[in-house]
A and B are shown apart, each in its own frame.
Chain A
């Protein structure tokens, strides 16, 4: 029997095997996580709240099932945490915002219900940039999360709490959301694995919306296998989300064993140019070389409209967000300013409840949709989006996946970019195109900078090509131990 400390350090895939082999119980795994959280999260602030009581009940039930040989899935008994963007019935859900402080949803998000049906043990809600708007978790109304590799730096965002919790081994698996890179970028900055599925692969029902045509739910874990288990549990059509796809699921677990020789990787020249930190580049190129050793071919490609992606993204995403956030008006739930007329109530409630970045984006989004500007901005941005999608479609006629750095730099210091929103936006330059095109993307740890900060390698695939991405990611992981490195904490 492993010691409590060791159990917490097991990546999700290994923990699932240990639970199946009954060398570890769900209650032990949970206790190990909670102990580590108690020890370390005071410094990191990855969690906004814990659901210890219900987790203990769930763990006990899981052990009961295992004893009877009736596990619900490979995830049965595995502790999992949720970005605070997922509605969980009876549990405060804030989306990192003061306007939802104290809000308790009366229903579960579909992915939450599916995790419960798979037997996962939900242990708490994780910190995030307010309404998923940000790349550093500094926009949380409840204080930032620290990067486990260097607590003076951000873990990235908006799923910063998720990435930090996984990397610090506070929990083996977490769910995040990715609208412009919000799973992949923090995964890269924290040295864990994060997958953004194809748009429509996973239900958005119960996920507090930022940008409806871009948001996707995705798994984060220290190992590729863990990500595959989580994806299998949550993916699939949902009648409640009519943008979810009817296409059947692949067997993600068996994709991990697939051979990758013969696959071709596209290397987009636009993603290896100015602004890319040389140490990050070196780590990524080393990762590419490892895949080449496995028989993967390389091919230089061009995504000529990629330079316009950030601009198009910030027009489309903010437009949709300005509409999605209109419901936060103090009338039915959440914060309400106690003040005079209806208009005053609206204005005061939102002024008090929303942070600066959210206000900025609502204003921008309202502007680009307004009469006289819709054609020049929103419509045009959607056209650029179509061009970007075409670029990828053309590329995928010649390659099976596209490889690049996940981010241009490693984790940056807290406060460094928060005064310059545009600089913050540019951090998404390699991740945003996949969101605009609705394509799946995964970030895997591929090395460290001299300063000891993680670097991430990103693979982007064809629509519903998650299996190929998982195969390639696993092939890379097999030859490295980056994912096994432990940040030096407490």
Chain B
């Protein structure tokens, strides 16, 4: 049988670190990259006698994720202990949520290539603490507990994905949503956004699910596709040969282009879950849940951009970058929704170009949205030409210099004063009476000659549109 005779069934589990200042159960800092074992205390070290104290901000972020992803946020959820021994788990158990998680159901809105939105179902979202980090060397292993007890939300997707491609799109969409919410930094390489894939296959048309395998250690989008495709092929090969697929956990090795069974997972771990006696059940009031605000999501921003007349391609470019969409929102909030298309154009053109040239950092912009609007106003009033406007914008975006200043410094002011222009028009026409007659006799191409001469007289600063119109009028058109 060919691989294509099998239908892959994929469900993804994402662990996302929450961007709280302190850890889930203690006031230690969550910042990444500190000296090992310096962001620790009795609680996250699991010292004898220490107890957990819940971080409210983490709960708010989890509720935010739940609301954004259409989940049923549970008024009551219960903390559980997941018991297992490993050096990066200092208490010998992880505090998680088992039977009663904070969010149930929900879906990830995936913006498809054709612009439609596919809702990929979720099982649940729950809060749990992260483990520390182990570093293995030849002569031993070391443990850094800075990461121990950093808050995580685990987002469990239903096995509704049917290809590595779908999995990749799902993951990108989910990551983007979390970035929009400001609760996760989406960093796969640093490990703040981690993905495990549950993969099984079955004959096309079959109802019963095949045995699933869990894939771990996938830390980039490219690897997601690679790992899943590898695993599908491996399972297909097994089934074709008449061998069963074993339920196990496999590590993805991108260098060797293979997945390997993890040694320690020969038997399934019995985590002996039971309700955490050191923490009361988490009770959320309706007011608390209501008070958690959810900003517009990527697919909603996309629809709004389209409605404003932005092209699909441009809308997608903007929506896929949190900083770009935030900039668009900021500017249109001041300038009005009608400016949507113009702002989008600016963003996918000048803004992106400057970013790529390294002249603009949207993390710490030197310009303000008001300055952009000021340039638009100057352009609309005719004080600068559209070409000049682009030059001014580029300078303002890169340096934050006041637009009026830039116009002056670069001598980009445009003459739009009607009487001044009329004076020049009259002067030019008076100088070339012969050409005027030829024009009036039918040689309309001389318009360019007249306008060009006028523009030269104005040292190029004439408002082209106005000049053109005035010239025509004088010539009797």
How far apart are the CA atoms of A323 and B82 in the complex, in Å?
9
How far apart are the CA atoms of A243 and B79 in the complex, in Å?
13
Q: Does B365 contact A (CB under 8 A)?
A: no
- Which residues 86-109 of A have a CB within 8 angstroms of B? 86-87, 93, 95, 100, 103, 105-107, 109
Instruction: State the majority secondary structure of interface residues on A.
Output: loop
- Cβ distance A330 to chain B, nearest Cβ, rounded Å: 10
Instruction: Choose among A205, A242, A342, A374 the residue that contacts B50 (Cβ–Cβ < 8 A).
Output: A205
Q: Does B270 contact A (CB under 8 A)?
A: yes
- Which residues 166-199 of A have a CB within 8 angstroms of B? none
* Known contacts A105-B48, A332-B46, A371 near B270 by CB under 8 Å: yes
Q: Does A206 contact B (CB under 8 A)?
A: yes
Q: Give the chain A neighbours of B279 by CB distance below 8 A.
A: 242-243
Closest to A211 in B: B277
Instruction: Choose among B48, B141, B274 the residue that contacts A323 (Cβ–Cβ < 8 A).
Output: B274
Q: Give the chain A neighbours of B331 by CB distance below 8 A.
A: none
How far apart are the CA atoms of A342 and B263 in the complex, in Å?
14
* Known contacts A204-B51, A242-B51, A332 near B274 by CB under 8 Å: no
- Cβ distance A85 to chain B, nearest Cβ, rounded Å: 8
Q: Does B204 contact A (CB under 8 A)?
A: no
- Cβ distance B405 to chain A, nearest Cβ, rounded Å: 54
How far apart are the CA atoms of A211 and B278 in the complex, in Å?
10
- Which residues 27-50 of B have a CB within 8 angstroms of A? 42, 45-50
Whether A95 lies near B92 (C-beta < 8 A) is: no
Q: Give the chain B neighbours of A243 by CB distance below 8 A.
A: 277-280
Q: Give the chain A neighbours of B90 by CB distance below 8 A.
A: 327, 331-332
Q: Does B52 contact A (CB under 8 A)?
A: yes
- Cβ distance B82 to chain A, nearest Cβ, rounded Å: 10
Instruction: Choose among B54, B83, B143 the residue that contacts A326 (Cβ–Cβ < 8 A).
Output: B83
How far apart are the CA atoms of A212 and B93 in the complex, in Å?
14
- Cβ distance B101 to chain A, nearest Cβ, rounded Å: 18
Instruction: Choose among B48, B85, B141, B280 the residue that contacts A242 (Cβ–Cβ < 8 A).
Output: B280
Q: Give the chain A neighbours of B278 by CB distance below 8 A.
A: 212, 241-243
Instruction: Choose among A100, A320, A371 the residue that contacts B48 (Cβ–Cβ < 8 A).
Output: A100
Whether A327 lies near B48 (C-beta < 8 A) is: yes
Whether A331 lies near B87 (C-beta < 8 A) is: yes
- Cβ distance A407 to chain B, nearest Cβ, rounded Å: 27
Q: Give the chain B neighbours of A371 by CB distance below 8 A.
A: 270, 272
Whether A320 lies near B277 (C-beta < 8 A) is: yes
Closest to A214 in B: B277
Q: Give the chain A neighbours of B54 by CB distance below 8 A.
A: 242
Whether B51 lies near A327 (C-beta < 8 A) is: no
How far apart are the CA atoms of A213 and B276 in the complex, in Å?
9
* Known contacts A213-B277, A342-B87, A240 near B51 by CB under 8 Å: yes
* Known contacts A106-B42, A242-B52, A242-B278, A366 near B272 by CB under 8 Å: yes
User: How would residues 41 to 70 of chain B score, 1 for a CB under 8 Å from any chain A CB and 0 otherwise?
Assistant: 010011111111110000000000000000
Whether B49 lies near A326 (C-beta < 8 A) is: no
Closest to A108 in B: B49
Whether A374 lies near B272 (C-beta < 8 A) is: yes
Whether B83 lies near A323 (C-beta < 8 A) is: yes
How far apart are the CA atoms of A80 and B192 in the complex, in Å?
48
How far apart are the CA atoms of A326 and B48 in the complex, in Å?
10
Q: Does B81 contact A (CB under 8 A)?
A: yes
Q: Give the chain B neighbours of A346 by CB distance below 8 A.
A: 85
* Known contacts A243-B280, A370-B272, A326 near B53 by CB under 8 Å: no
How far apart are the CA atoms of A230 and B171 in the complex, in Å?
57
User: How would residues 266 to 297 of chain B score, 1 for a CB under 8 Å from any chain A CB and 0 otherwise?
Assistant: 00001011100111100000000000000000
Closest to A367 in B: B272
Q: Does A82 contact B (CB under 8 A)?
A: no
Instruction: Choose among A240, A319, A327 the residue that contacts B53 (Cβ–Cβ < 8 A).
Output: A240
Closest to A204 in B: B51
Q: Does A138 contact B (CB under 8 A)?
A: no
Closest to B278 in A: A212
Q: Does A333 contact B (CB under 8 A)?
A: yes
Whether A206 lies near B85 (C-beta < 8 A) is: no
Q: Does A9 contact B (CB under 8 A)?
A: no
- Which residues 138-152 of B have a CB within 8 angstroms of A? 141, 143
Q: Does A252 contact B (CB under 8 A)?
A: no
Q: Give the chain B neighbours of A322 by CB distance below 8 A.
A: 83, 272
Whether A212 lies near B277 (C-beta < 8 A) is: yes
- Which residues 307-333 of A have a CB within 8 angstroms of B? 319-320, 322-323, 325-329, 331-333
How far apart are the CA atoms of A322 and B90 in the complex, in Å?
15
User: How would residues 322 to 336 of chain B score, 1 for a CB under 8 Å from any chain A CB and 0 otherwise?
Assistant: 000000000000000
Q: Give the chain B neighbours of A241 by CB distance below 8 A.
A: 51, 53, 278
Q: Does B91 contact A (CB under 8 A)?
A: yes
How far apart are the CA atoms of A329 and B48 in the complex, in Å?
12
How far apart are the CA atoms of A241 and B280 in the complex, in Å?
10
- Which residues 334-386 of A have a CB within 8 angstroms of B? 342, 346, 366, 369-371, 374, 378
User: How would residues 108 to 152 of chain A score, 1 for a CB under 8 Å from any chain B CB and 0 otherwise?
Assistant: 010000000000000000000000000000000000000000000
Q: Does A429 contact B (CB under 8 A)?
A: no
Could you list 24 examples of A-B contacts with CB < 8 Å? A87-B47, A95-B48, A100-B48, A107-B47, A204-B49, A204-B51, A206-B49, A206-B50, A209-B49, A241-B53, A242-B278, A242-B280, A323-B272, A323-B274, A325-B92, A326-B85, A327-B46, A331-B87, A332-B46, A332-B90, A346-B85, A370-B272, A371-B272, A374-B274
A interface residues with partner B (beta carbon < 8 Å): 86-87, 93, 95, 100, 103, 105-107, 109, 204-209, 211-213, 239-243, 319-320, 322-323, 325-329, 331-333, 342, 346, 366, 369-371, 374, 378
B interface residues with partner A (beta carbon < 8 Å): 42, 45-54, 81, 83, 85, 87, 90-93, 141, 143, 270, 272-274, 277-280
User: Which 3 residue pairs across A and B have the least CB separation, nearest first?
Assistant: A326-B92, A212-B277, A369-B272
Known: A106-B42, A241-B53, A369-B83. 5 other contacts (CB 8 A): A107-B47, A240-B53, A243-B278, A323-B93, A326-B93
